[in-house]
């Protein structure tokens, strides 16, 4: 009971701080420019606390998923028919002033992200194996990396002649090169070399496409009456081997399982410090068209006794890269479906933060840093209802020296609000389904060995899945 109460308080503080700092940015810059401010709210719905001071209503809503600063001079409906308390007309605000007001929320989140990143640097955080080594966790069979002999378990020694110590080093070396030259060590100690062309991802940065770093195949959930559950596996088990072959990532495990349908094979896990082996028989799933054992993996699996101190700039760059990769995948026809299936909603975000608070406060801070970078970037997308949309509207006014028709702008923003609300409700329902809080079928790809998008090692649907 005390642990649950502590977790609830910390989750609300960290999540609330993320929302508060964003809205505070808007509030402070709007006040600096002398704009009319009607309300400063954290959360939506009925107020659980409110107070009016100097004409501004401050309140905390019962629904914690967001907040807002009510600025009538940036509201297209209020531009024409706003009625102030003193009966005076609402003065116009120059569009060049609206741009920093809209930008200030994202700036606030990035400032908070850097502050949290510095705290993580000083106290350290539990780590994933790809943050400590350069062992390959998965190789796509259709990739050039596979054709040149790179396999899971191999260790990358150098990239373009530079020694690398973790997977982030590899990404940095590849980011500005059209071709990368790997020196690689096989598991038997022999050395070979491979030259791979990189792919253009975004903003001129490039990446190797066909390989991914090592990550833990740790069980988050088991499908009821699945082969894994019948074999005796439990949530928290970390899969080490299957059919006496080492497992280097969830995707690697899925690949191995897909070849072993109908065979009873040993699966070795680590549970509470012990190595345990169980017989499991993968079963063919008609919908997914491959053999599966019925596991959903923990994307946040880390070593709590292996603490690292990531540099703040590297941590922010890593999070930014991840978010831009997902956005790039969403607008790329070949990967848009996979990217959309991997998106998480507010329920999953809060559940992830809840789990991290219970396991490690440092990981909770790490996740909070990610949330702030994510909120900053997403809010600057040029979508009418987001801050980026307001910036686009204001830039249009600056360039054309004409105000956009208020009715058109209102209709556009209203439509986007409905789409955003629908998306949040849909993602929340999918989160609840994936977390097992409502019924689901065993063929739900969200709870199988890995999702289809995880067969693309470059695509990183969830933080930490390197």
pLDDT in tens, 365-374: 999 999 999 9
Would you say residue 271 lies in a domain? yes
Q: How many helices (H) and strands (E) does the chain have?
A: 13, 20
Which pTM value belongs to this model?
Answer: 0.81
Residue with tokens 């509207």: 393
The pair of structure tokens assigned to 282 is: 């993968």
Q: Is the pLDDT of residue 73 over 50?
A: yes
C-alpha–C-alpha distance, residues 456 and 320, integer Å:
19
Would you say residue 108 lies in a domain? no
Cα-based distances in Å from 147 to 135, 141, 142, 186: 18, 8, 8, 15
Cα torsion 25, 30, 33, 37 to 10°: value is -150
Mean pLDDT score of the chain: 86
SS3 459: coil
The most confident of 235-239, 442-446, 460-464, by mean pLDDT: 235-239
Task: Categorise residue 367: left if φ over 0, alpha if ψ from -120 to 50, beta otherwise.
Answer: alpha
Would you say residue 247 lies in a domain? yes
Q: Considering its fold, how many domains does the chain have in total? A: 1
Reported confidence tier of residue 335, pLDDT bands at 50, 70, 90:
low
Burial 314-324 (b: 16+ CB within 10 A, else e): ebbbbbbbbbe
Overall average pLDDT of the 48-61 stretch = 92
Would you say residue 278 lies in a domain? yes
Would you say residue 238 lies in a domain? yes
| Domain assignment of residue 236, given as a range | 217-297
Q: Is the pLDDT of residue 334 over 90?
A: no
Q: Is the pLDDT of residue 229 over 60?
A: yes
Q: Is the pLDDT of residue 264 over 80?
A: yes
What are φ and ψ of residue 42, in 5° steps?
-110, 120
Percent of the chain with pLDDT over 70: 88
HSE, CB side, 13 Å, CA atoms: give it for residue 12.
13
Looking at residue 242, which CATH number applies to its domain? Answer: 2.30.42.10
> In this structure, are residues 48 and 130 in contact, taking their beta carbons and an 8 Å threshold?
no
Would you say residue 293 lies in a domain? yes
Residue with tokens 């890269």: 321
User: DSSP letter at 184?
Assistant: E
Would you say residue 142 lies in a domain? no
Would you say residue 118 lies in a domain? no
């Amino acid at each position: 009971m005390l642990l649950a109460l502590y977790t609830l308080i910390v989750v609300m503080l960290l999540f609330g701080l993320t929302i508060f700092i964003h809205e505070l940015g808007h509030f402070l810059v709007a006040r600096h420019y002398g704009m009319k401010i009607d309300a400063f709210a954290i959360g939506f719905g009925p107020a659980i606390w409110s107070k009016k001071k100097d004409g501004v209503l401050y309140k905390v809503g019962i629904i914690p998923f967001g907040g807002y600063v009510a600025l009538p001079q940036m509201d297209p409906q209020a531009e024409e028919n706003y009625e102030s308390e003193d009966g005076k007309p609402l003065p116009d605000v120059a569009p060049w002033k609206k741009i920093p007001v809209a930008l200030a929320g994202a700036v606030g989140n990035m400032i908070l992200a850097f502050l949290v990143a510095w705290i993580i640097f000083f106290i350290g955080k539990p780590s994933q194996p790809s943050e400590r080594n350069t062992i390959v966790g998965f190789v796509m069979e259709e990739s050039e990396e596979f054709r040149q002999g790179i396999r899971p378990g191999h260790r990358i020694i150098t990239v373009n002649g530079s020694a690398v110590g973790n997977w982030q080093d590899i990404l940095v070396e590849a980011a500005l090169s059209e071709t990368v030259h790997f020196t690689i060590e096989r598991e038997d100690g022999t050395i070979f070399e491979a030259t791979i062309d990189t792919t253009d991802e975004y903003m001129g940065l490039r990446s190797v496409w066909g390989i991914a770093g090592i990550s833990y195949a740790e069980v988050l959930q088991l499908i009821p009456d699945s082969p894994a559950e019948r074999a005796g596996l439990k949530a928290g088990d970390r899969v080490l081997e299957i059919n006496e072959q080492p497992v280097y990532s969830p995707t690697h495990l899925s690949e191995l399982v897909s070849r072993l349908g109908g065979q009873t094979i040993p699966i070795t896990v680590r549970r509470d410090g012990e190595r345990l082996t169980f017989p499991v028989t993968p079963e063919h799933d008609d919908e997914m068209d491959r053999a599966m054992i019925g596991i959903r993996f923990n994307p946040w699996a880390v070593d709590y006794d292996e603490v690292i101190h990531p540099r703040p700039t590297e941590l922010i760059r890593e999070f930014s890269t991840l978010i831009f990769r997902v956005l790039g995948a969403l607008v790329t026809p070949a990967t848009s479906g996979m990217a959309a299936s991997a998106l998480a909603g507010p329920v999953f975000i809060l559940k992830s933060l809840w789990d991290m608070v219970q396991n490690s406060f440092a990981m909770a801070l790490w996740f909070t840093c990610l949330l702030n970078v994510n909120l900053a970037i997403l809010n600057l997308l040029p979508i009418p209802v987001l801050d980026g949309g307001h910036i686009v509207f204001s830039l249009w006014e600056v360039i054309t020296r004409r105000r956009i028709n208020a009715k058109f702008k209102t209709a556009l923003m209203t439509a986007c609000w409905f789409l955003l609300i629908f998306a949040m409700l849909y993602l929340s329902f999918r989160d609840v389904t994936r977390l097992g809080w409502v019924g689901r079928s065993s063929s739900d790809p969200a709870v199988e060995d890995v999702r289809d998008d995880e067969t693309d090692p470059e695509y990183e649907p969830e933080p930490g899945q390197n």
